Amino acid sequence: MKTESNYANKKILVLGLAKSGFAVAKLLKKMNSDVTVVDSNPLAGNDEAKKLLDAGFNVITGSNDPKLIDNSYDYVVKNPGIPYSNELIKNAEKIGVPVITEPEIAYSFSDATTVAVTGTNGKTTVTTLIQLMLAHSPKFKKSYYAGNIGIPISDVIQKATKDDVVVTELSSFQLEGTIDLHPHVAVLNNIYSAHIDFHGTRENYINAKMHITKNQNKDDYFIVNWNTEEWRDLAKQSKANIMPFSDEQELNDGAYLKNNEIYFNNEFVMNTESIQVPGEHNVQNALAAINVAKIFDVSNEDIIDVLVSFKGVKHRIQYVDKFNDRKFYNDSKATNIEATIVALSAFKSPIVLIAGGLDRGNGFDELVPYLKGKVRNIILYGETADKMIDAAQKSGIENITKVNNLKEAVPEAYRQSKSLDVILLSPAAASWDQFDTFEQRGDQFIEEVEELKGKDNG
């Protein structure tokens, strides 16, 4: 790890704790910065704040008063989920204090090779696949993953050396707060419309995503999904070497799909039947990962070994269990319509769908053609339930049930299911109306399935 950075020996306010705020505060303190931590949650029950207080940090809890920031600070590091409409953030910008996010800090201290992954859907799967493949690269001693995948980059870069590689998943929330972030390899898996409530417009959302390549140069690589004209046009913004991938067209360079066979630079790699996780989207995820693996000389044999043994990522079309001829899948990470479309497209068996969550103001008519003929029963809950009932009716689903919460939804879905059905949690909405995180939502689904299985076996 490097000890010199624009963020060493500075006066910095960290706004918002959780995992990333806690980690970056400790890193900055280690680098001799004067750190003040502000968290709106009260001290009672705030374990991260208590640990920092015990370690001698200046910690302010139960408030994020705009007056807590003044021009004596060099930077504000905000939790990615805190909107720029927050009054303290607005005051910082008004007085000229730059507002950044944790990846900007962490990357500045890293001397490991860096690979960064973004996109609307599939980020975690691609990040995981790349990390597993690069564990076989002859160019690195160790490979790590971090970022939006749930592991703070600030923790990982302190372990990684110049002989290692760190693969990071970066959300639009994280990327918008970056200035000098410069990954050697950047991956754009796809871009759909998402998080417009946070970014304001789709254009702003895309601009945030494109921060991943803005500091790259001719010695770097930008891996881009080549399936749409929009994504191909976005690649023109990058100064890096462009490496496309596609499951819809043959390419002269990069990874592509032809007759259910994967090729890289026109060399056969493997058959898609060997990929264990379901869905065409996972073929795309594999293609993106293969492009990165090939940059670092990973063999076809090692690539195949990863793809035939990989069972999926938790909360991303995660296989949970099978009993009484029903299969249960947890896709709690489907916080938008596009992700649920991907999940619905992954299965050929009849689906009993559990969906609903935070109302961000959008309708769900985009789901209609994907519900039609695939979803026999739908169980809805949360703020979006009534809007999704409308979409379900338009799709011709006869069995539409509204319940109060996920705890009620799981046994109801099981009660309505038939032999060989897939029971799928894929909410098409964020979790924050009833849960703190999508992980919490997915964990509850798994618990409810386990409870059902116990009763069924009893």
| Residue list, annotated binding site for ATP | 119-125
The pair phi, psi for residue 315, each rounded to 5°, is 75, 5
What per-residue string of b and e applies to 354-370 under the rule 16 or more CB within 10 Å gives b?
bbbbbbbebebebbbeb
**Do the Cβ atoms of 400 and 393 come closer than 8 Å?**
yes
Instruction: Give the chain's end-to-end CA distance (angstroms, integer).
Output: 54
Tell me how far apart the alpha carbons of residues 451 and 227 are, in angstroms, rounded to a whole number: 42
Binding residues: 119-125
The pair phi, psi for residue 99, each rounded to 5°, is -110, 120
**Do the Cβ atoms of 438 and 431 come closer than 8 Å?**
yes
For the chain, the residue count is 458
**Do the Cβ atoms of 145 and 213 come closer than 8 Å?**
no
The token duo for 392 is 């379900």
Tell me how far apart the alpha carbons of residues 50 and 42 are, in angstroms, rounded to a whole number: 10
Tell me how far apart the alpha carbons of residues 348 and 296 are, in angstroms, rounded to a whole number: 36
Helix/strand/coil for 399 = strand
**Do the Cβ atoms of 245 and 287 come closer than 8 Å?**
yes
The token duo for 44 is 């009672």
The token duo for 309 is 């043994």
The token duo for 287 is 């293609």
Q: Which residues contact 113 (CB under 8 A, 6 or more apart)?
A: 139, 140, 164, 165, 166, 184
The pair phi, psi for residue 134, each rounded to 5°, is -70, -15
**Do the Cβ atoms of 357 and 384 come closer than 8 Å?**
yes
Q: Which of 260, 5, 265, 237 is nearest to 109 (CA)?
A: 5
**DSSP code, position 151:** B
H or E element, residue 448: helix 438-457
Tell me how far apart the alpha carbons of residues 155 and 157 are, in angstroms, rounded to a whole number: 6
Question: DSSP labels for 305-323?
Answer: HHHHH---BTTBSEEEEEE
**Do the Cβ atoms of 288 and 301 come closer than 8 Å?**
no
